[in-house]
Structure 1
Amino acid sequence: MTAAARPVLVVAERLDPSADMVVDQLNQRDVPVIRFDAAEFPQQLTLSAGHAPTEPGRTGILDDGRRTARLEDVRAVCWRRPGRPVIADAVPGPYATWPQNQAECALLDVVAALPGARWINNPHHDRIAAHKPQQLVTATRCGLRVPRSLITNDPDAARDFAKQVDGPLICKPVLGGRLPVDEGRKLMVATHYVDPAAFDGSIRTTGHYFQEAIEKAYEVRLVAVADRVFGGTLHTSPEKARTDWRTDYEHITYGTVDVPEEIATGVRRFLAYYGIVCGSFDFAVTLDGEWVFFENNPAGTRAWVENHTGTGLPIAAAHADYVRGACE
Structure 2
Amino acid sequence: MTQHLSGGPVLVVTKELDPAADLVVDELTIRHVPVMRFDMGDFPQTISLSVAHAAAPWAGILADEYRSVRLEEVRAVYYRRPRLPAVSEHMEEPHRSWANEQALAGLLGTLYALPVTWVNRPEADGIASHKPGQLPVAAAHGLRTPRSLITTDPEAVRKFCHQVGGRVICKPLMGGPLEYPDGRRTGVPTHVVDPDAIDDSVSLTAHLFQEWVPKSHEVRLTVVGTEMFAAEIHAGSDAARVDWRSDYDALTYDVCKVPDDVRAGVLGWLEHFRLNFGAFDFAVTPSGDWVMFECNPSGEWSWIQNRTGLPIAAHIADLLAKGRP
**TM-score higher than 0.5:** yes
Structure 2 CA distance for aligned equivalents of residues 160 and 27 of structure 1? 56
Matched-pair contact (CA < 8 Å) for 2:240–2:247: yes
Q: Quote the sequence identity (%).
A: 47
Residue among 19, 23, 27 paired with 1:25: 27
CA apart distance, 1:228:
0.5
Going from structure 1 to structure 2, the CA distance change for 1:99 and 1:265 (only over 3 Å counts) comes to same
Going from structure 1 to structure 2, the CA distance change for 1:93 and 1:287 (only over 3 Å counts) comes to farther
Residue type matched to 1:99 in 2? Answer: A
Who is 2:113 aligned against? 113
Task: Give TM-score scaled by structure 2 length.
Answer: 0.96
Structure 2 CA distance for aligned equivalents of residues 118 and 199 of structure 1? 47
Who is 1:191 aligned against? 190
Q: Deviations over 1:81-135 (max 9, x none)?
A: 1111232121236653322222222211110101x31110011111101001110
Residue type matched to 1:39 in 2? Answer: G
CA apart distance, 1:280:
0.4
Structure 2 CA distance for aligned equivalents of residues 119 and 174 of structure 1? 26
Matched-pair contact (CA < 8 Å) for 1:226–1:278: yes
Going from structure 1 to structure 2, the CA distance change for 1:213 and 1:184 (only over 3 Å counts) comes to same
Instruction: Report matched runs for 1:1-328 at 5 Å.
Output: 3=5, 5-52=7-54, 54-55=55-56, 57-92=57-92, 95-114=95-114, 116-310=115-309, 313-327=310-324
Structure 2: which 5+ residue stretches go unaligned? none
CA apart distance, 1:184:
1.3
Structure 2 CA distance for aligned equivalents of residues 246 and 103 of structure 1? 36
Equivalent pairs, count: 323
Matched-pair contact (CA < 8 Å) for 2:84–2:104: yes
Structure 2 CA distance for aligned equivalents of residues 16 and 125 of structure 1? 21
Q: Deviations over 1:234-275 (max 9, x none)?
A: 101211111111111110011211111111111110110001
Structure 1 CA distance for aligned equivalents of residues 93 and 289 of structure 2? 53
Structure 1 CA distance for aligned equivalents of residues 215 and 324 of structure 2? 43
Q: Deviations over 1:176-221 (max 9, x none)?
A: 1111113211121111111111112111111111001111111111
Q: Deviations over 1:145-203 (max 9, x none)?
A: 00000001111111111111000010011111111113211121111111111112111
Structure 2 CA distance for aligned equivalents of residues 142 and 49 of structure 1? 42
Matched-pair contact (CA < 8 Å) for 2:138–2:265: yes
Runs of 4 or more consecutive aligned structure 1 residues displaced over 4 Å after TM superposition: 1-4
Structure 2 CA distance for aligned equivalents of residues 13 and 63 of structure 1? 17
Structure 2 CA distance for aligned equivalents of residues 109 and 96 of structure 1? 19
Structure 2 CA distance for aligned equivalents of residues 154 and 266 of structure 1? 33
